[in-house]
Amino acid sequence: MSSSLVASRPRLIFLRGLIWSLIGLIYAPLFACLYVVFQGIGLGNAAFVPAAAVAGAVGATFYGARQVALAGTLIGLLVATLLFSTVPGIVSFWLVALTAAVVGGGLGWLVRFPDRCSLHVPGKAMAGLMTGAVCGALLALAEPLHPQNFHMSGAVAFMVSVNGVLYVSTIGWWVRQAAVRRGRACNLVESLVIALLAATAAASLWAVAGPIVGAVDGRFEPLLSAMLTHVPSALVGGLVGGAVTGATLQAFGLPWVHDI
């Protein structure tokens, strides 16, 4: 092995660990908030499964859609901000999320992005959904055997690390199963991806900023307070779990999958 390759290996391990720590920071608050919501509707330990599946699908979509993901997120934040500024009094969750989805979907249909930004997103989303569901099921089965409920930071670190390895290992198969051809089908996928990410970003801003500006009904405040209580520890777990995952993937030579 050449000396240049040997010298670059630690840098690549550090870089991939840094990238995955950022992925963990994106995944963590979404998983924590979804877990609180699904627990609130009475799923108990089983709340890990849908929370991990949905967070995995959304996270994979964001990570895999490139410029499309950034556009969807920006649209969602702008729509939520405009609604807070123009709608007097209470602004409902559904108004924020659905308005952002409609605006994002419409703009996604009209504005063209490179095909590579959306051609493989369905397969990536399915990979994130299924690997998330598997990891969530493992936590749901293991928690009753544990003397105490899992701490959120530990649960998120487990999800980011194990889910990340499974995702990288299986994404190629899922992309082949859900391949989208260029043309109108790709345009539709692009529109749906922007709608999904715009709605997610708008809903996230509603949950964080809505109570501050007085736009959230008081009935939701206990739920939102429970979410915000879990978010700091989830961020720690996502940061640490992501860094360890990225470094491990690079150390063992697993593919980056950024070119898929």
Domain range summary for the chain, segments of one domain joined by +:
8-251
Q: For the chain, where are the alpha helices, taking DSSP H only?
A: 3-40, 48-64, 67-86, 93-110, 121-142, 152-177, 184-213, 221-251
Q: How confident is the model at residue 5 (pLDDT cuts 50, 70, 90)?
A: very low
Read off the pLDDT of residues 51-93 as tens digits, 9 standing for 90 and up.
Answer: 999 998 888 888 777 778 888 889 999 999 999 988 888 888 8
More confident residue, 112 or 183: 112
More confident residue, 260 or 208: 208
Read off the pLDDT of residues 172-206 as tens digits, 9 standing for 90 and up.
Answer: 888 887 766 666 677 788 888 899 889 989 988 88
| Two structure tokens written together for 216 | 């959230």
Least confident span in 45-54, 117-126, 160-169: 117-126
| Two structure tokens written together for 245 | 């995952």
Q: What is the pTM of this model?
A: 0.84
